[in-house]
């Protein structure tokens, strides 16, 4: 069967017209907005690390976990905790083995709060030299 050009040309014109008219309809269609009002994001709750002090100074505190003795973590201080820690260090600071709970921001190692009472500083007396 041989196609007649008089029939083929209108069919081709209709096909081209449908192709371009459908893309225009899609381009003009606007999606419905299903967005709900966005509530302000709440800051995440601080996480807790319960442990024993290994070492501490005015910049960091290194703590061993109470549950897993192989797990140690070093925390830096937020500005508010740094002021608190300087006051504690002036009185003698945390000693090895003191029990503390450190509240820190998720995903960071910055302490935002310290809980735990520092023990009395250990003072070592100089050996007496009066052995006559």
Q: Give the pLDDT confidence score for residue 86 in this predicted structure.
A: 93
Q: Is the pTM of this model over 0.85?
A: no
Which residues does 50 contact at the CB level (< 8 Å), separation at least 6? 65, 66, 67, 99, 100, 101
Q: What does each C-alpha distance from 23 to 14, 20, 36, 51, 126 come to in angstroms?
A: 15, 5, 30, 65, 92
Q: What is the pLDDT along the chain (132 residues), one digit of tens a residue?
A: 576 777 778 888 888 877 776 555 455 566 766 777 777 888 889 999 999 999 999 999 999 999 999 999 999 999 999 999 999 999 989 999 999 999 999 999 999 999 999 988 777 777 776 655
**Left (φ > 0), alpha (ψ -120 to 50) or beta: where does 16 sit?**
alpha
Token pair of 103 as six digits: 């509240």
Mode of pairing for the β-strands spanning 110-115 and 72-77: parallel
CA dihedral 124, 115, 76, 51 (to 10 degrees): 70
Helix spans in 29-122 (H): 79-90
Domain 47-115: which topology?
Answer: OB fold (Dihydrolipoamide Acetyltransferase, E2P) (2.40.50)
């Amino acid at each position: 069967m041989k196609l007649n050009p008089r029939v083929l040309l209108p069919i081709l014109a209709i096909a081209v017209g449908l192709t371009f008219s459908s893309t225009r309809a899609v381009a003009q269609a606007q999606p419905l907005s299903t967005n709900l009002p966005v509530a302000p994001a709440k800051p995440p709750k601080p996480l807790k690390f319960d442990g024993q002090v290994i070492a501490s100074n005015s910049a960091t505190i290194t703590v061993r976990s109470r549950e897993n003795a192989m797990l140690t973590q070093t925390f830096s201080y937020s500005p508010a905790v740094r002021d608190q820690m300087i006051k504690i260090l002036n009185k003698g600071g945390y000693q090895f083995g003191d029990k503390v709970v450190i509240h820190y921001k998720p995903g960071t190692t910055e302490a935002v709060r310290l809980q735990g009472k520092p023990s009395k500083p250990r003072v070592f007396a100089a050996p007496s030299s009066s052995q006559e």
